[in-house]
Chain A
Amino acid sequence: MSAQDVKQVDARALWQEAFEGARKRDVDFSSVSGSKLKGLYGPEDASVDFARDLGYPGQFPFTRGVHATMYRSRLWTMRQFAGFGSAQQTNERFKFLLEHGQTGLSTAFDFPTLMGYDSDHERSRGEVGQVGVAISSLRDMQTLMDGIPMADVSTSMTINGPAPILLAFYIACGERQGVDPKLLRGTVQNDILKEFQAQHAWIVPAEPALRMITDVMGYCSTHVPQWNTISISGYHIREAGSTAAQELAFTLANGMEYVKRGIAAGLDVDDFAPRLSFFFDSHIDFFEEIAKFRAARRIWARKMRDTFGAKDPKSWMVRFHTQTAGVTLTAQQPENNIVRTAFEALAAVLGGTQSLHTNSMDETLSLPTEKAVKIALRTQQIIAEETEVAHVIDPLAGSYFVEAQTNRLEAEAEKYFAEIERRGGVVPATEAGYIQREIHRSAVGYQAAVERGSKKVVGVNCYEEDHDRTPTIEIHKIDPAVERDQHQRLAEVRKKRDAAKAKSAIDDIRDACKGTDNLLERFVAAAHAECTLGEIAQVLRDEFGEYKEPKIL
């Protein structure tokens, strides 16, 4: 032992004594996910084999990022989620965002669309255009993309149960614009497992839903090769109340299930895995989130290479979109949400995200106003242009704390993988409600912690102000005329189309449901024949039945 070592040991003991003896603030020193935190982390907490666990950016296991240059070559894509009201209104918002420097489109759909109902369905009453845009037909999609060069933008569509149908509308819309599907770029979320687990917009049960997903992977690998066929999403799992570890574990477990399904459907893993992308939440616990993103990359790389035998390094990479955490926003003192969002966005950037949506301050109250959306976008621009954080790749690597958290999250995720395996895999574990129950337990625990005051939320359980119920900021409301107009548009579509052609397209889908032909191919044909979303989804319901949630509580 050298003299210097002795001195260090003494220093540590000295610090330990000072630390233990001192009075601490009376708060719960744990992460927002409830993981206990030490006051100081050192080398003994962060066992990292540099080559094995970190490596270099753009190299296995990608802990430090998926590109060699990261933001030095290209900043992340600033992709604000938008969609409300009619296709025409959303089209205008898209153009507004593109004019203000946004680099990709991201579409939010209304609940009827998400559930596969046309705007004029009985169940759609009052919901048309409310939380996203209403798209019931190819014609609506054409209005949505009007004047936007589809060969040049990348479009993300947050849709799951009916994802293959909306993708069919998009492909057909491109063809009508004269764009070869091979040139289309974008993403459909298409992640049905997390719908069953957390977000709850579905049409058919798990098995036929998973078949449609492999149909999309199969069809796109030849016809729409630049399309990201699935965005495996932790966002909704987290928003439903999960911890960081649960978000990580369930998302990657879902991802692995899709990979298994693709392989079982006869696809070569390296043909479809590079088109899988991910979507995470960036929550308020800064370091835990950064560690989560790093752990996600490392776990996936290991699984893909070692478990699934993928050979193409692109198959090993977690490329991901991030959205700041909607659940952390408060209706009280809504301007504070700008600050929360800024920290969450910074964590996503330091975690190496490929694209980012920053929430608007008014999102807990209603759809965001234009002003709020602009501030949210500017938040990203300030991080990108002013803070200088984007100059250095994975700047927090080697931090004892961040490496320890990265290791912890990986270990916790592995525990969940084992438990899910014990329950027969993701699908049985979901059908039995296990994953939902885990999420619910965390959500209830967090709520109780907030109400006890052991977790603080400014404006809610500390630093409250007398506020009346009426929000102090301007809010955005949807005109009921949107619903009426949609009814009219749909009536027109149904009247004008070639009825025989539409019917035979529907019959073809029915046949494909009974057999094994690629459903996406039939959906594209049906889109061209002007069949509506609801009509196509109804065939699926007739043939496959409807998903029914298990009892969780």
Chain B
Amino acid sequence: MNASPDITERFKRGDKGAVARAISWAENGDPRFATLIADVYSKVGHAWRIGITGPPGAGKSTLVNEIAKALRTRERTVGILAVDPSSPLSGGALLGDRIRMEERTLDKGIYIRSMASRGSHGGLSRTTVDACDAMDAFGFDEIVVETVGVGQAEYDVVSAADTVVVVLCPGAGDGVQAMKAGLLEVADVLAVNKAELPGADRLIMDLEEAVHIRLAGKSTWMTPVVACSAARGDGIEDLIAAVERHREHLKAHDLDGIRREKRLAQVHRVLDERIAEHLWSGGGFGERARALLDSGRSPYDVVAELFSALLAEHRHQKNGAK
């Protein structure tokens, strides 16, 4: 299917409605996304991608709003993706992060998109990267992705970013929790938000100590711990400076290689999806698997049989093409 020429043209003209539609296509698995992104892919790679994650209520959205505001004073344009979980029961979602970013709504240099996680985590990572690629190709200088970080599965999502900022705050689920949850593993920058509240100093100390124990001697990048207060607009500059330093660090340490690996991961995801779709919707594998299971075969047997069938089909296609 062709990307509707109208949307591509509007996309290139800088019409936000077109990037919005492109992201919807990516979310819905609409093949028009592939066509569109291929058309504009030479532009991808310009933007710096900042992932913001952390427990619910840490102040991520408030912080994203402040970061965007600060970046705007530097004349940088910003694309924001705010991801929230879908309800596992209904498949629906309530997306409310925009409330905290309301002041940015009418800013021409800002685009904000709310996205629901929609079930599978692999799928979410794929869509997140697609959305970032779309915003990147659209021409934003900076891309900020907010996701809730509560379990392992979310790390995939943020690891699509160039710089991952993990946001924590004193009180609810503090440092130790975060370390347990492995949030520290993915952090390039640690932000302690609500720094004006009691307990913040303690949390900063704990985190610094943890970073030292974990990373000393093992890595060329020492994850900095930055204190900020999104509510008061304090520490935002420090946070942005830390992101900048990480960016310089990566540039000096094979950024292209790192990004290529990330793109490769995306190739994996898309390929997996493609194969799965081919198998389960088009290929009649579902019925075959059912029949084999009914005849008493083990799941492994069934897989072995289906897999060789797949390879045979593939070989056949290749020969047929000759």
- Consider the complex of A and B and state whether they touch directly, i.e. have CB atoms less than 8 Å apart: yes
Collect the chain B residues with CB atoms within 8 Å of residue A548's CB.
Answer: 99-100, 102
The answer to the question of A452 belonging to the interface, with a C-beta cut-off of 8 Å to chain B, is: no
Collect the chain B residues with CB atoms within 8 Å of residue A432's CB.
Answer: 57
The answer to the question of B151 belonging to the interface, with a C-beta cut-off of 8 Å to chain A, is: no
Report the minimum CB–CB distance from A429 to chain B (whole Å).
12
With most chain B CB atoms within 10 A of its CB, the pick from A432, A550, A551, A553 is A551
When chains A and B are docked, how far (Å) is the Cα of A415 from the Cα of B57? 23
The answer to the question of B171 belonging to the interface, with a C-beta cut-off of 8 Å to chain A, is: yes
Collect the chain B residues with CB atoms within 8 Å of residue A549's CB.
Answer: 99
When chains A and B are docked, how far (Å) is the Cα of A443 from the Cα of B117? 27
The answer to the question of A473 belonging to the interface, with a C-beta cut-off of 8 Å to chain B, is: no
The answer to the question of B223 belonging to the interface, with a C-beta cut-off of 8 Å to chain A, is: no
Report the minimum CB–CB distance from B232 to chain A (whole Å).
9
When chains A and B are docked, how far (Å) is the Cα of A552 from the Cα of B97? 10
When chains A and B are docked, how far (Å) is the Cα of A549 from the Cα of B100? 8
Per-position contact with B for A390-402: 1 when CB-CB < 8 Å, else 0?
Answer: 0000000000000
The answer to the question of B96 belonging to the interface, with a C-beta cut-off of 8 Å to chain A, is: yes
Tell me the residues in window 528-553 of chain A with beta carbons closer than 8 Å to chain B beta carbons: 548-553
CB pair B100 A553 closer than 8 Å: no
Given A548-B102, A551-B61, does the pair A424, B96 have CB atoms closer than 8 Å?
A: no
Collect the chain B residues with CB atoms within 8 Å of residue A551's CB.
Answer: 61, 96-97, 99-100
Number of chain B interface residues as a range: under 10
Collect the chain A residues with CB atoms within 8 Å of residue B275's CB.
Answer: none
Determine chain A's interface SS by DSSP, over half rule: loop
Q: Which 8 A-B pairs have the closest CB atoms?
A: A551-B96, A553-B94, A553-B96, A551-B99, A432-B57, A549-B99, A548-B100, A551-B100
In the complex, what residue of chain B is closest to A205 when comparing beta carbons? B231
Per-position contact with B for A305-336: 1 when CB-CB < 8 Å, else 0?
Answer: 00000000000000000000000000000000
When chains A and B are docked, how far (Å) is the Cα of A550 from the Cα of B57? 9
In the complex, what residue of chain B is closest to A552 when comparing beta carbons? B96
Report the minimum CB–CB distance from B130 to chain A (whole Å).
25
In the complex, what residue of chain A is closest to B102 when comparing beta carbons? A548
Collect the chain B residues with CB atoms within 8 Å of residue A552's CB.
Answer: 96
Collect the chain A residues with CB atoms within 8 Å of residue B100's CB.
Answer: 548, 550-551
When chains A and B are docked, how far (Å) is the Cα of A424 from the Cα of B100? 22
In the complex, what residue of chain A is closest to B96 when comparing beta carbons? A551
With most chain B CB atoms within 10 A of its CB, the pick from A424, A548, A552 is A548
CB pair B94 A424 closer than 8 Å: no
Tell me the residues in window 101-120 of chain B with beta carbons closer than 8 Å to chain A beta carbons: 102
Identify 16 residue pairs between A and B in the complex whose beta-carbon atoms are under 8 Å apart, listed by A's number.
A424-B171, A432-B57, A548-B99, A548-B100, A548-B102, A549-B99, A550-B99, A550-B100, A551-B61, A551-B96, A551-B97, A551-B99, A551-B100, A552-B96, A553-B94, A553-B96
Tell me the residues in window 34-55 of chain A with beta carbons closer than 8 Å to chain B beta carbons: none
Collect the chain B residues with CB atoms within 8 Å of residue A553's CB.
Answer: 94, 96
Collect the chain A residues with CB atoms within 8 Å of residue B171's CB.
Answer: 424
New contact pairs (14) apart from A548-B100, A551-B96, CB-CB < 8 Å = A424-B171, A432-B57, A548-B99, A548-B102, A549-B99, A550-B99, A550-B100, A551-B61, A551-B97, A551-B99, A551-B100, A552-B96, A553-B94, A553-B96
Tell me the residues in window 96-146 of chain B with beta carbons closer than 8 Å to chain A beta carbons: 96-97, 99-100, 102
When chains A and B are docked, how far (Å) is the Cα of A361 from the Cα of B57? 42
In the complex, what residue of chain A is closest to B84 when comparing beta carbons? A551
Tell me the residues in window 168-193 of chain B with beta carbons closer than 8 Å to chain A beta carbons: 171
When chains A and B are docked, how far (Å) is the Cα of A553 from the Cα of B100? 13
Per-position contact with A for B140-165: 1 when CB-CB < 8 Å, else 0?
Answer: 00000000000000000000000000
Report the minimum CB–CB distance from B105 to chain A (whole Å).
13
Collect the chain A residues with CB atoms within 8 Å of residue B97's CB.
Answer: 551
When chains A and B are docked, how far (Å) is the Cα of A553 from the Cα of B97? 10
